[in-house]
Amino acid sequence: MESAIVEEIRSALQTNANPVEKRKRILWAKHYQEQPKLYGIPTPTVRRISSIFFQNIRYRPKTDIFQLCNDLLESGYSEERTIAFDWAFRLRRWYTLSDFLLLKAWLTMHVHSWGACDDLCTHALGAIIYQIPTLVQEAEKWTKSSSRWVRRASAVCLIYSVRRKKYLEAVLRTADALLADSDIMVQKGYGWMLKEASNHYPKRIFNYVLENTNEMPRTALRYAIEKLPPELRRKAMERS
């Protein structure tokens, strides 16, 4: 039964595949040194397909749905990964601690681009960390990973929470750990995390940036101060 549903999804994706969109996305991905496996479908269309098929399985046990997600992820196609991550996020009301192990495994096994990292981390992973505070410490360990995407994830997974005014101190600790990271995708990731924090805590983020201007790469700094009030942005840039 499960394989039939997955095959139906793949048939729908193939029907919507667009060679022009595929070429465009491959060229765009090369800019980030990525080599995605694609059908070539705009993301809004993929999410619409995801929503339609989820209605057919929404009342199944959580374990069954997660298995379907695993089946989709195994293909390596970006669009199937988008559906798997979307379905996992739709289950957030029923998350338990053990689900974190599965989501963490997906991060290490199926995330090989910034888009995949951010999709998983700002939705399913971010939601479970928001719900279970003890997981913050686990996420902070990722700052020491040899994988650029896992290090980026350590920051981006906190965005879900800090948007809801939670875990500011963890945000600052994570920024400390990643402060001098040489990878531009990690710099952009923790800069984005600080930017989201600045929506609720502008003075704290402004002060943090000022205290760390000598070490913070300019890329991270520009992201971090993007949403600060104009006068604070000017002061931060003067010190950089």
* Domains along the sequence of the chain with CATH: 1-94 (no CATH), 97-240 (1.25.10.90)
CA distance 98 to 8: 29
Contact 106, 74 (CB under 8 A): no
CB-based contact 198:224 (threshold 8 Å): yes
pLDDT for position 2: 57
Mean pLDDT taken over the chain: 94
Identity at 96, one-letter amino acid code: T
User: How many of the other CB atoms lie within 10 Å of CB of 123?
Assistant: 19
Q: Say how far apart CA 31 and CA 50 lie, in whole Å.
A: 28
pTM of the model: 0.94
> What pLDDT shows up at residue 1?
47
pLDDT in tens, 62-81: 999 999 999 999 999 999 99
Radius of gyration of the chain (CA): 19
Q: What pLDDT, on a 0 to 100 scale, did the predictor assign at position 92?
A: 98
Q: Is the pLDDT of residue 237 over 90?
A: no
Q: Rounded CA gap, 237 and 240, in Å? A: 5
Cα angle value 145/121/5 (rounded, 5°): 115
